[in-house]
Structure 1
Amino acid sequence: MKYLKFYPILLLFFQSLSVLSQPTINRIFQQPGATGLYEKLELGLSINAEFTNPFDPDELDIMAAFTAPSGKVWKVPGFYTQSRWGGFLVRFSPDETGEWSYTISVTDRNGTASSETGTFTVVPSEYHGPIRVAQNKRYLEHADGTPWFGVGLWYNRGNDAEVLEELQAKGINFISRLITPLETWGTGLGRYDQMLCQDIDELLEELENRDMQLSLNIWFHSFLSETVWGGGNIAWYTNPYQLVCDAKDFYSSKEAWEYQEKLYRYMIARWGYSRSLVIWFIVDEVNGTDGWASGDSLGAANWARKVHEYFKEHDPWNHLTTGTRSGGIEEWWGRGYEIFDMAGREIYEAQGFPINTTGQVGKDPTHPLTYSYLNYHGQVKRLWDNFEKPAIIPETGWDHTFYEMSMPGYQSQYHNALWVTMASGSAMSPFWWSYSDQLNDNMVTNQLRYFRRFTEQIPFSKLTGLAPLQAENPGGHAFAMGSDQLIFGWAVNADTDMSGKTITLHGIKNGRYRLKLYHTWSGRYLKIDGQEELIISSSRNILSFTIPVLKIEGGHARYIGQDVAFIIELME
């Protein structure tokens, strides 16, 4: 039986009960006024119940049933928190305007108590809702159908509002973040560190305020590694799951899974409501764990499927899932890409990909930047060809590259990775590892805002008849994606520049088109003869256009550079 607890600024309180007492719901604390569409509704509970561990749903199960105006019923678990006011809460975010109702049940070993019916009104808001896979299966959109293309990177630092403000100003609309296990040696298994949980609460609130998204990495490989890769890649010693299994048995242990189910339920209860949670990133670099390295890669995939299916069954908001193998050339994880909502292929070019290994640019006939953008194109294309789902690069970059991080070539390599993955069919920008002093001068620049400006002109989630196009750029390369509505793409020549180069696209419907050329380094559409749009025509299913030559004008720089992006729309 639990002991008497008192919280002086609490929305709720507890009191001792006899073993035979039925649970009771004393009061539900509901925020006053209407709730905005896709905004958080938080209910505080004052209850009497018998339990030892308030986190354990086997001892204390709190479940809310929300009924929408349409009649749809949402089942959302409650959770225990010692953060802020403390106590038991239910969090929800509605997806319909109008009058909603709810009831809450509390079950302990002695029985079940049910609340009276509560109501609340949902009014329109400025928000578009959580992210989902679009009907075309390749891209993403908000719950209300508004297209969304992710532009972001890994951000594993604290919740610095000024930094998040800077990232937003640079065009970033998502971050990916790893978390340390919520179960610690201090809490023990089945209980969750409330400082860590509060940190995620605050991060999501900061992101919600900025209309940004979070990819939340649940299991970073080091926390499941006792022997693999060494050094900082080993952190199993910090993981209390070793109380119930060896690291190599984590994926197969029945007892470990029973604790995981409760962990995932808690995460859904506490953070599933958020319109800023885009991805449950289930496992990062699964092959960097003892469960995989011991030889049971199939067992690791079966575990990944089980976690994915748990979230699909229990997350009412159906947030997306992904997971990865590491970024070497041989680390293709077909089983994993098939499992998750999003097929996520890591890329670390220095781990076996084609790359200049001479240490001298002039000693290799292929430019280092050419190697790089072809590596990214090849992996995204392979995902596109093999899996009918959104393709992403969920980890890449750092110093596993040809150029060192402070060099201008590194910035060009990053720039090219943004553009070539988009033009090859990726649903989000590469998740570059990671926001840091070593990288920020080359990464967190206006080029992200310029990239975002371009992607916002393309209604990715509304496109139909999507297919990669054959594209030619003599002396360089071109990449293009066709659809029933428009064509978008990117052309590049790392050896010289794009001035005067002719791009040819094959498999194009004959007709007249509007062409817009985009200067990727300055974030502007090119004006030719004073016009941003050129009218061009295709014949024999071939469409060609020539990139203009820009020259110094009025004593100011005018230069096309080594790459250019384009959007082509069929005229009615």
Structure 2
Amino acid sequence: MPRLIVFLSFILPAIAADALLSPATPYLDVRTADWQYARATAGATRPTDAKAISAWQPIRMGKRWDELGYPAMKFEEVWLRLRFQLAPELAGRKVGFFATLIDDESDIYVNGLAAGKTAAHLGYALPEPSADLDLTPFVRFGEPNELLILLRDKYVRSPGLVGSVGLYQTLPFTRTPAGGLSVASSAAGPWSVLLHTGAALLARQGRTSFTAGELASLELPPYALRTDELILIAPAATAPQPPHRVELTHIHSTTQSARLEISARALPASVGRYELLTVPVTLGATFTNPFDPKQVNIQAVVATPSGKVDRVFAFFQQEFTPVSLNSEEEILLPAPGPAWKVYYRPRELGRHSVELFAHDRTGVRKCTAGTFESVASAQPGYLKISSSDPRFFEYSNGDSFFGIGPSGWLRGPNYIFGGNPRWVPLAMMDAFYARKAAQRSNYEYIGTFHYGRMLTRGGFLDQHIAWKLERTLRIMERHGIRWLFFHDDMRRYYRYGFESLPYSIAQGGPAVEIGEYYINEEAVRWQKNQLRHIVSRMADSPSIWVWNIGDEWRDQPGNKLSVPLVRSWMKDLHEYVRGIDIYQHPHAIGEGDEAMLNGGDVLPVEGWYLNHPPHKNNDWRQGRMYDLVDHVQQQLGQHAQARYPIIDVEGGMFGWNSGIYQSGKPWGYPEGLTLHQHLWLSLFWKSAAGGTEWQVNVLDNDNQMFHAKAFARYLDGESLTKTRWDRAAVKTSQPGLNAWALQTSGKTLGWILNRSWNWLNLVQGQGSSTITGATVQLPVATDGRYRIELWDTFTGTILSTAEATSANGALALSLPPVEKDLAVKCIRQQAPLAQRRSPSWR
């Protein structure tokens, strides 16, 4: 994938004490301008109060306070001040202030006048954008101006002005219904259009100047010009010339009126089993929205060697070239490529034949695409619930899979939750997944809203978001990472008002109020159109582990109308996906016990967060725990007899109300204890995944993901599904030790934990108290001679070995000193010993 790294000197001019916005600078990056800050005193929240402050200190913008070295400003009210000037020639133009995210709340003043307010709510996606304020009524041209922001921190994330922060000027314009730009000027131009906060110019076959008529006549998809990164119009003669171009001839039109016809390139002679066959499709049809199958429906029908028939949908798409502006910012530029594709992976060996069908309002056309031979490959296939032990997963080839965390998604230094795709570069994601894979962490738990909302006005799907989600999936695939995929486009967005959502009538949607999202047939059809695009584009990947649609369903706003309605809505969406996903990935339909009652295949246990201070009764239901072992055992113990997979999807040492959402440092993550203990405990409770610590940034930054590698090494060579493992009790000689075991015919796995090695002792500086002289009685399924291996759980290596003979279904082991924990493997040997002897470690 081509990548280009540049330095934006053309939009980062040297900034004097007063930032100057001139005709030559449509966008002025003010992240490093002469900002000043001062803490606001109680009740002193008016601009006149700010003027009385003398102790202003310099500060920069673009990152959160803790990233800038100001963690003490958490939960405070802070005044921010920027003085700037506007060239007199800008009179008559629109002048604005732009920030990707102001976190959490702000009051904004210009020259002492209230110019606007912003709010970004915890756990909700980014407003689009957080701040884009028209300052024109408040500014003075040719004179000094003062921007004042009163920033209030209300939630657990570290606050700040995050991402892009800038002043801009543009000729006033409006958008036409077809996506064009109608310039409010009597002059004919020519004009230039700057995009991506000035980093790129709109172009047609390389030409970057347009008449007013040309701009007004543009017909563009609603997502083509990223409004969340500003659209600025300037006279072509004075516009800057950044090196990047948004080339109009590369943008696929979402409207077509043509005679119905379909064709495809010749298929390859052979395709590896479970490997991707990509079929670019050339289509002529009539439609005004290619994401609506009622208007245009392209399908591939594949006849397999067994006689079964697969049906997959083609999807409309836009190719992009990712361009790195720096290590933290990436823009996507439209690139040439087919508008329609079909993805398919054969699951059988032998000859396959493919036919394509196109349907629009004029009829149906068929294209015989050809045949290919599916041949053997090294791919293990798809994850499915094991038939021999439904607590675990296995691949199509029978190899077992255990999910190894951490599970939390990469936040990056800015962490814009549900923001635009600029702020999580693919290079950053690739490097992160490479680090995870190198440490044998093998799965991810990430939402589709990570890069922003896919559904846009009119039922169109933002191809920047869709493309980046698919690229992320292909990166995971390359690194062997499996995706516990969850999707939601309501739970994380509704806080900013239903009228702001594309489903609302105010945005051209079908629904009057939020309850209709769950029951209005057209609103639900829009949701299914989005899921169809996701499945058509992503379901082929063996990296998809589990579908989860309807994130944190108990927080869905529709529950105020009816809880049963929300549950039936979730089930309906999952049944739709089941009907079109030929690869039959498992489903988690909600969290908690309702997931199975809703018809799910997998039970996601709700988070195992350990909050401080500990509850006096150590009751996990109070959500105020510090002892991971008690907490998780009480959670998983409720499902000890379940015959379906349990995934404790997220948790860890984290306080939702304690101001550590970004760094985690106020509490500390000593020795990666939460990741470590949850990994081992989950295995011995027969969960399908473990180590699902949410604070992956802390573990990654502190090089604590090595716990995953040590655990994976212990599991190497062990199949969890080719033989059945049962939980078995372990007797210990000392109350300070806990132990767990899994046994099968001929083998026992065990984990022995010193209970004083816990988070509370570590953060209080006490450490753990080494236990000496302890013994354990490890259960075995069959008496006989055993090779016993003691394992170092921090390195995944064997510490020592011994031999012993069991009696009455148990092996008596004398343990070496236990400071933290040990793992053990007992493997039955073929030849029995003449007599039983105690193990002799060597």
**TM-score interval for Structure 1 and Structure 2 normalised by the shorter chain:** 0.7 to 0.9
Distance 1:413-1:48 versus aligned 2 partners, 3 A rule: closer
Alignment of 1:437-452 (within 5 A): 438-442=698-702, 444-452=704-712
Correspondence for 1:66 among 302, 305, 321: 302
Distance 1:318 1:498 in 2: 49
Tell me the CA shift for residue 499 of structure 1. Answer: 4.4
User: For residues 51 and 346 of structure 1, what CA distance do their matches in structure 2 show?
Assistant: 44
Report the alpha carbon displacement of residue 425 of structure 1 after superposing the two structures with TM: 0.6
What is the total number of aligned residue pairs between the two structures?
524
- Report which of the two structures shows the higher radius of gyration computed on alpha carbons: 2
Q: What residue is the counterpart of 1:539 in the other structure?
A: 807
Change in Cα spacing, 1:563 to 1:58, as seen in structure 2 (3 Å) is same
CA drift at 1:398: 5.4
Change in CA separation of 1:267 and 1:124 when aligned onto 2, cut-off 3 Å: same
Does 2:713 correspond to 1:477? no
| 1:166 has 2:435 as partner | yes
Q: Deviations over 1:119-152 (max 9, x none)?
A: 1222322221121111121111112212221212
Q: Report 1 or 2 for greater relative contact order, CA contacts < 8 Å, sequence distance ≥ 6.
A: 1
Q: Say if 1:75 and 1:108 are closer, same or farther in 2 by CA, change over 3 A.
A: same
Question: C-alpha distance in 2, partners of 1:83/1:268?
Answer: 18
1:341 and 2:601 matched: yes
Quote the Cα distance in structure 2 between the aligned partners of 1:246 and 1:373.
45
Deviations along 1:90-121, one digit per CA (max 9) or x if unpaired, are 10111223322111111111211111251122
Of 297-306 and 217-226, the range deviating more from structure 2: 217-226
2:271 equivalent in structure 1? 35
Question: Does the CA contact (< 8 Å) of 1:11 and 1:46 recur in 2?
Answer: no
117 and 138 in structure 1: CA distance in 2 versus 1, 3 angstrom threshold: same
Tell me if the contact between 1:42 and 1:89 (Cα under 8 Å) persists in the aligned partners: yes
Counterparts in 2 of 1:304 and 1:182: CA distance versus 1, 3 Å: farther
Q: Distance in 1 between matches of 2:485 and 2:728?
A: 34
Post-superposition CA distance 1:332-381 (Å, at most 9, x none)? x31214432211102244469xx7347xx9xxxxxx99821121122223
Secondary structure of 1:536 counterpart? strand
Cα displacement (A) at 1:190: 2.6
Corresponding position of 2:752? 491
Query: For residue 370 of structure 2, what is the aligned residue in structure 1?
Result: 118
Cα distance per residue 1:244-283 (max 9 Å; x no partner): 2533453344332222222211111111111211121223
Residue number in structure 2 paired with 1:106: 358
SS at 1:491's partner residue?
Answer: strand
Where does residue 762 of structure 2 map in the other structure?
Answer: none
Q: CA RMSD in A?
A: 3.4
Of 272-281 and 489-498, the range deviating more from structure 2: 489-498
Higher helix residue share = 1
* Larger deviation, residues 517-526 vs 30-39: 30-39
2:721 counterpart SS class: helix
Distance in structure 2 (CA, Å) of the matches to 1:433 and 1:236:
30
Question: Which residue in the other structure is 1:381 paired with?
Answer: 637
Partner of 2:823: 565
1:511-551 superposed Cα distances (whole Å, 9 cap, x missing partner): 33332221101221121xxxx3x3333323333322224xx
1:526 to 2:792 alignment: no
- The residue type paired with residue 268 of structure 1 is V
**Residue in structure 2 matched with residue 155 of structure 1 by the alignment:** 409
Candidates 16, 35, 39, aligned match of 2:257: 16
Q: Match for residue 553 of structure 1?
A: none
Kept in 2, the 8 Å contact 1:38–1:95? The answer is: yes
Contact preservation (8 Å) 2:359, 2:365 = yes
C-alpha change, 1:400 and 1:537, in structure 2 (3 Å) is: farther
Name the amino acid aligned to 1:42.
Answer: T
**Paired residues for 1:134-149 under 5 Å:** 134-135=386-387, 136-149=389-402
Q: Does 1:97 align with 2:349?
A: yes
Offset at 1:415? 1.4
Whether contact under 8 Å (2:408, 2:446) holds in the other structure is: yes
Change in Cα spacing, 1:174 to 1:349, as seen in structure 2 (3 Å) is: closer
Mind listing any 5+ residue stretches in structure 1 that lack a counterpart?
Answer: 227-233, 326-332, 362-367, 550-559
**1:300 shift after superposition:** 2.5
Deviation of 1:311 after TM superposition, in Å, equals 2.2
**Residues 175-214 of structure 1: matches in 2 within 5 Å?**
175-180=444-449, 184=453, 187-214=456-483
When normalised by structure 2's length, the TM-score is 0.57
Relative to structure 1, the CA distance from residue 460 to residue 155 in structure 2 (aligned partners, 3 Å threshold; closer, same or farther) is same
The equivalences for 1:391-540 within 5 A come to: 391-397=646-652, 399-400=654-655, 405-406=664-665, 407-409=668-670, 411-436=672-697, 438-442=698-702, 444-464=704-724, 466-473=725-732, 474-475=734-735, 476-484=737-745, 486-495=747-756, 496-497=769-770, 499-506=772-779, 508-527=781-800, 532=801, 534-540=802-808
Amino acid corresponding to residue 478 of structure 1 in structure 2:
A
The amino acid of 1:177's aligned partner reads: I
Counterpart of 1:241?
Answer: 503
Q: How does 1:245-394 map to 2 (within 5 A)?
A: 246-292=513-559, 294=560, 296-325=562-591, 333-338=592-597, 339-350=599-610, 356-357=614-615, 371-385=627-641, 387-394=642-649
SS at 1:240 equivalent = coil
Q: Calculate the TM-score normalised by the size of structure 1.
A: 0.82
Gaps of 5+ in 2: 1-177, 179-217, 221-246, 321-336, 412-423, 506-510, 619-623, 757-768, 831-842
Identity of aligned residues (%): 22
CA shift in 2, pair 1:187/1:300, >3 Å: closer
The change in CA–CA distance for 1:373 and 1:76 in structure 2 (over 3 A counts) is same
CA contact (8 A) 2:747 2:780 kept: no
User: Residues 222 and 235 of structure 1 are in contact (CA less than 8 Å); yes or no, is this contact kept in structure 2?
Assistant: no
Change (3 A) 1:508 1:461: closer
Aligned amino acid, residue 445 of structure 1: M
In structure 2, what is the Cα distance between the partners aligned to 1:539 and 1:236? Answer: 68
In structure 2, distance between residues paired with 1:252 and 1:538: 62
Aligned equivalents of 1:208, 1:562: Cα separation in 2: 35
1:9 deviation in Å?
A: 6.8
- Contact 1:137/1:390 (8 A) holds in 2: yes
Structure 2 distance, partners of 1:242, 1:340, is 30
